[in-house]
Amino acid sequence: GILAGSLTGVGKGFFGLLMMRSITALSPFDPAKVLHDGLFWNLIFVAVGIAMQFFETTYLLCLNVVGEHLTKNLRLELMKKLMHFEVGFFDSEENSVGAITEYLGEKVTLMQGLVGEKLGTMAQSVVMLVVTVFTMFFWGDWRVSLIVLAALPISGVLMTVAMQSMMPMDAGKQGKQDKDASEKKSAGSLIGEVVLGIRTVASFNAEIKFYGDFCVQVDELEKRGTIRAFTGGALNGFAFCILYVIFGAELWYGLWLGSVGALVSLDGEI
């Protein structure tokens, strides 16, 4: 799976070069040469697309299957361990029925993302970066490549900021505890307790009490989520704004080098 993910990174790293060559294939004035070069690069794109389809499928299939097996085994081992705990263990607030149910249903699956698809994505990203830098210096101009490479850390930080601002608001959705550590149950675990113990709740006429607690939790999550949405949108817009400014500066520099005759084409012509 990791090997297939790395090979997809190779294909994505060469995408810019293939796109550039396919566009420049339309520049000659000879119609026969345009037809020949255009057909050649079209076939190259078809071949690369078929290879990417195969490697992407292999990469996701292998790592997701491994992740599913890991999640299943982790749930079974955790359930086996819970069956051997003393009864007093479940009297604690953080070990309530709702909290354990939420843990088994949702949080265990986080391990699948850690050692499954994310592992292949990391390998794919590293290989793609190496291949991209290689193509820049080997087929491109070294001055433009240095400018792009120098701006790469800034672009990486900005992309990280943009991705973080666009990610789901996990902290709010999971109902984290307040800063004063008052040990409030999350909204999800509260629902689990009410549903599993509905007879007991009804016998004590505690429906209004649980509903009131749930409303407080949801209102607090909505308040935090609204603030997070505004700040996330502002950060996302700022990050992409600076990214486009950097891309524009790099493009202007390359065009300026071309205007003074400092660039050399792939065929060795000025």
Q: Look at 233 and 187; give whichever has higher pLDDT.
A: 233
For 186, left (φ over 0), alpha (ψ -120 to 50), or beta? beta
CB 18 within 8 A of CB 44: yes
What's the predicted TM-score (pTM) here?
0.57
> Cα separation of 142 and 90, whole Å?
65
Alpha carbon distances (Å) from 5 to 94, 115, 159, 181, 184: 39, 14, 21, 42, 42
CB 9 within 8 A of CB 127: yes
> Cα separation of 136 and 149, whole Å?
9
- At residue 175 the predicted structure's pLDDT band, cuts being 50, 70 and 90, is very low
pLDDT of residue 59: 81
pLDDT of residue 198: 74
Segments in 167-206 forming alpha helices (H): 170-173, 187-196, 198-203
Q: In what helix (H) or strand (E) does residue 112 lie, and over which residues does it extend?
A: helix 110-115
> Cα separation of 48 and 180, whole Å?
55
* Across 208-233, average pLDDT: 79
39-64 pLDDT tens trace: 888 888 888 888 888 888 888 888 77
> Cα separation of 241 and 18, whole Å?
27
CB 69 within 8 A of CB 159: no
pLDDT of residue 102: 66
pLDDT of residue 93: 65
pLDDT of residue 270: 45
* Across 181-187, average pLDDT: 46
Q: Look at 117 and 226; give whichever has higher pLDDT.
A: 226
- At residue 108 the predicted structure's pLDDT band, cuts being 50, 70 and 90, is low
Percent of all residues in the chain with a pLDDT value above 70, rounded to a whole number: 75
69-95 pLDDT tens trace: 777 777 777 777 777 777 776 667 666
Q: Look at 165 and 184; give whichever has higher pLDDT.
A: 165
Average pLDDT, the chain: 75
pLDDT of residue 116: 65
* Across 221-242, average pLDDT: 82
pLDDT of residue 239: 86
Q: Look at 244 and 96; give whichever has higher pLDDT.
A: 244
Query: Under DSSP, is residue 193 helix (H, G, I), strand (E, B) or coil?
Result: helix
CB 2 within 8 A of CB 124: no
> Cα separation of 59 and 7, whole Å?
9
Give the start-end residues of each E strand in 18-135: none
> Cα separation of 260 and 203, whole Å?
86
